[in-house]
Amino acid sequence: MPSATALGADLTRKQQEHGVWLTQFKAADGGYSMTGDQVAEFRKRNEELDALAVEHETALEVEKSAAVVESKLGPQGRVVKDGGEPEVKDVAIETKAQLNAEFKSAFEKHGPAIRNYKEGDAPIRFSIGANLKTIVDLTTSYDTLATGVGRAESALFFGDVEPFFPHGVVSSDSITGYIQTTDTDNAAAKAENTAATESAFAWTKTTDEVEDIRTWIPISRNLLSDEPQMQSVITGMLAKRLQKISNTYILAGSGTTPVPWGVFTRTGFQTQAKGTDPVFDAVHKAITLVAVTGDANPNLAVFHPNDWEGIRLTRTTDGVYILGNPTESGPMRIWGLPVVISTGLSEGTGGVADTSFTTIFENGGVVVEVSTEHSTYFTEGKLALSLVRRFGAFHYRPKAAATVTGI
């Protein structure tokens, strides 16, 4: 498997080529004038971009996992197959590159089982050890990979963008970090005995608050006595509401306490106006902004449901649906980027981002509490069910995100 860096560069190049190719079909009314064969070619190019994007995402998963395992291993390694006491491959690990290669080989072999894993399936196990049996139980560790495409795609139905972001833990009420504000790259070839040109980097120390997101609901004690399962049902419903507003803040929070900063509102993010361009062109230009000015590789596109409906229903001047006929589900990708449909962004504004430059820091996770101490609830036989989550989203490079306005 090529490296994630090489695949990312290839993906960017093919996105640019596809964008140039599509430009020739722009019509005066903001649509596209394409024949049936040209629409078929568009879909073929889209499928190639999708396949390359998935390969790039998988390579990122593998390399991140390899780095984690590498930090825990000694000089000897072995790869263990799924289940039981499997065959053992003894390998003398002498270099970092060799260790990564062994881990990638194991991960690729078991990739289909990992991607198709469902809750309740038998544990998937493989290991690379050093004279000991170190088991990496992917039923747990796979969930921790914030950019895991298998988990992320399940979020498309709920508008949940969190699986695309790295997560961290904080034990205080604030997050202090550095936002890059200057990136002057003057690396260049120079003749012998001539001075190199100085590059310049600058960071601004920034402190963000860890904010509280809360919700609660009154419940009759008799209801819980008569229908005990209702507490779980109601808690689940509240948790979804908490997650929905959390996503809104992660995408477009104002940054004014008690609201966290959003990736598409943080000071310094980029914007691309649709203007007279078709939506596809405007989104591609936003991707280019993130790649060139932001010096990043976008891995996420977000649209309001009403805006995605317009994109999905885009037709040529002859009435052919560009993203597939109504009998087809159609790709949940655009220019190779996975698409999340979310009301977290306002209608008329979409966004693309490299989410690796934003970390969501949790303080304690979601806390569920039940109490009779609210008001006169004790004497009235009522309970207050409360859910609280504390988190902040820190954006290290705001230019790694761009909105598309006027959709």
Residues 323-375: tens digit of each pLDDT: 888 887 767 889 999 999 999 999 999 999 999 999 999 998 889 998 998 89
For position 75, what pLDDT does the model report? 40
Establish if 203 belongs to a structural domain: no
- pLDDT attached to residue 3: 78
Quickly tell me which residue has 């560069």 as its tokens: 9
pLDDT tens-place string over residues 207-247: 999 999 999 999 998 888 888 888 888 888 899 999 999 99
| pLDDT exceeds cutoff 90 at 145 | no
Distance of CA 337 to the CA centre of its chain: 10
Are 368 and 219 a contacting pair, CB within 8 Å?
no
Lowest mean pLDDT among 21-25, 264-268, 272-276: 21-25
Question: Does one domain contain both 8 and 123?
Answer: yes
State the average pLDDT over residues 296-320: 92
pLDDT of 272 reads: 97
Round to whole Å and give the CA distance between 407 and 239: 31
Q: Are residues 35 and 138 in the same domain?
A: yes
Q: Which pLDDT does position 11 carry in this prediction?
A: 79
Phi, psi of 120 (to 5 degrees): 100, -15
The answer as to whether 232 is a domain residue is: yes
| 10, pLDDT greater than 70 | yes
User: Is 168 within a domain?
Assistant: no
Are residues 139 and 233 both part of a single domain? Answer: no
Which CATH number goes with the domain that contains 220? 3.30.2320.10
Residue 395: which H helix or E strand, with range? strand 382-395
For residues 141 and 280, membership in a common domain is answered with no
The count of domains in the chain is: 2
> Which of 16-30, 38-52, 147-161, 250-264 has the largest mean confidence?
250-264
The tens digit of pLDDT for each residue in 71-112 reads 444 443 333 434 444 444 555 555 555 655 665 665 556 555
Residues 304 and 213 in one domain: yes
- Whether 141 and 224 map to the same domain: the answer is no
* Strands 337-341 and 300-303, sheet pairing: parallel
Asked if residues 360 and 302 have their Cβ atoms less than 8 Å apart, the reply is: no
Residue that is last in its domain, among 155, 187, 222? 155
Query: Is the same domain home to 110 and 224?
Result: no
d(CA 117, CA 112): 8
Coil, helix or strand at residue 17 = helix
pLDDT at 115 over 80: no
Q: Are residues 229 and 150 in the same domain?
A: no
Residue 27 lies in a domain: yes
Distance, CA of 12 to CA of 14 (rounded, Å)? 6
- The answer to the question of residue 12 being in a domain is yes
Q: What's CA 44's distance to the chain center, in Å?
A: 25
* Domain assignment present for 192: no
Segment 248-273 mean pLDDT:
94
One-letter amino acid at 404 equals V
Q: Is the pLDDT of residue 265 over 50?
A: yes
Measured from the Cβ of residue 214, the count of other Cβ atoms closer than 10 Å reads 14
- Count, residues in the chain: 407
Maximum average pLDDT range among 19-33, 151-165, 234-248: 234-248
Tell which wins on pLDDT, 282 or 231.
282
DSSP SS3 for 192: coil
Mark which of 122, 140, 155 sits at the end of a domain: 155
Q: Do residues 142 and 271 both lie within one domain?
A: no
> Looking at the domain assignment, is residue 115 inside a domain?
yes
Q: Among candidates 365, 345, 356, 341, which has minimal Cα distance to 394?
A: 356
Structure-block tokens of residue 215: 């919700």
Signed CA dihedral, 286, 291, 294, 298: sign only: positive
Contacts of 120 (CB under 8 A, 6+ apart): none
Torsion angle, alpha carbons of 53, 55, 57, 62, to 10? -170
Task: Give every CB contact of residue 218 below 8 A, 6+ residues apart in sequence.
Answer: 374, 377, 382, 383, 384, 385
389: containing domain: 208-405
User: What is the structure's pLDDT at 290?
Assistant: 96
pLDDT at 63: 67
Residues 127 and 212 reside in one and the same domain: no
Percent of the chain at pLDDT exceeding 70? 75
In-domain check, residue 163: no
Question: What pLDDT is stored for residue 82 in this prediction?
Answer: 43
Q: Are strands 349-353 and 300-303 parallel, antiparallel or unpaired?
A: antiparallel
Share of the chain above pLDDT 90, in %: 43
Domain boundary residue, one of 140, 155, 170? 155
Q: What mean pLDDT value characterizes the chain?
A: 79
More confident residue, 196 or 150: 196
Distances (CA, A) of 223 to 120, 218, 237: 31, 11, 16
Q: What is the pLDDT of residue 34?
A: 80
Residue 172's contacts (CB-CB under 8 Å, 6 or more residues apart) are: 210, 363
Please check whether residues 72 and 219 belong to one and the same domain: no
Domain shared by 240 and 366, yes or no:
yes
Residue 119 has what pLDDT? 58
